[in-house]
A and B are shown apart, each in its own frame.
Chain A
């Protein structure tokens, strides 16, 4: 089916739905919105995910699990905007990119530290860090990028 224009449209539908609702749509909903059959929608979704390999479907399903920087499957990286905690980031690194999906808004990232469970909090606006608690918060890549990287669902 490869149709770059249609793939762009599906990508945007998914990203926009995640931003607006915190949830990714099902391929049948995407198909209806794009004016294609449900099976064409399913196939197109797989093409989009192949073209955007930093995200993934839940294994052995057609369900969007991860569509970075946001995640459809809850993670420990909770995102709050306008006082609503409706979103989850794919990982701690992608969490710092969520700010670009909410221009002009304060995006709050909250997560439990994997060592002690105490909170890690970061607030960003238009890419700038405006609040960090504690001040020593650090990012950590446990498996390298590329060949040494672990399986995607287990980042």
Chain B
């Protein structure tokens, strides 16, 4: 999960996976993805018990909102 100077730079990276052509995300969307509600409570005393468990649902909702609904992004099994 990296930042590159541009998509072309990522594609030139020797470790670039062909399947990861779908792995691009704009910086604005990325900041939103990693800035959902639970992330704003990481310093709260009950983060681990009260906030972290909500993270997966929240992340999935955000990914759907920005149109990243493939198994690659959602972490669901690939269709056979």
Residues of A bordering B, CB below 8 Å? 4-5, 7-9, 11-12, 15-16, 19, 48, 51-52, 69, 77, 91-97, 99-101, 109, 111, 113-116, 118, 120, 122, 124, 127-129, 132, 134, 136-149, 155
Kindly list chain A residues whose C-beta atoms are within 8 Å of the C-beta of B24.
Answer: 138-141
Contact A140 B2 (CB under 8 A): yes
State how many angstroms separate the Cβ of B75 from the closest Cβ of chain A.
2
Kindly list chain B residues whose C-beta atoms are within 8 Å of the C-beta of A69.
Answer: 34, 42
Which of A9, A139, A146 makes the CB contact (< 8 A) with B74?
A: A146
Given A15-B42, A93-B34, A96-B31, the answer on whether A140 and B48 have CB atoms closer than 8 Å is no
Q: Complex formed: what's the CA distance from A122 to B35 in Å?
A: 15
Which of A114, A132, A149 makes the CB contact (< 8 A) with B27?
A: A132
Kindly list chain A residues whose C-beta atoms are within 8 Å of the C-beta of B28.
Answer: 129
Kindly list chain B residues whose C-beta atoms are within 8 Å of the C-beta of A136.
Answer: 5-7
Total interface residues on B, CB under 8 Å, equals: 47
Contact A139 B77 (CB under 8 A): no
Kindly list chain B residues whose C-beta atoms are within 8 Å of the C-beta of A111.
Answer: 2-3
Q: How many contacting A-B pairs (Cβ < 8 A)? A: 176
State how many angstroms separate the Cβ of A6 from the closest Cβ of chain B.
10
Contact A52 B48 (CB under 8 A): yes
Contact B45 A114 (CB under 8 A): no
Contact A138 B7 (CB under 8 A): yes
Contact B5 A8 (CB under 8 A): no
Contact A147 B20 (CB under 8 A): no
Kindly list chain B residues whose C-beta atoms are within 8 Å of the C-beta of A100.
Answer: 35, 39-40, 42-43
Q: Complex formed: what's the CA distance from A114 to B3 in Å?
A: 8
Given A136-B5, A138-B27, the answer on whether A51 and B52 have CB atoms closer than 8 Å is yes
Contact A137 B25 (CB under 8 A): no
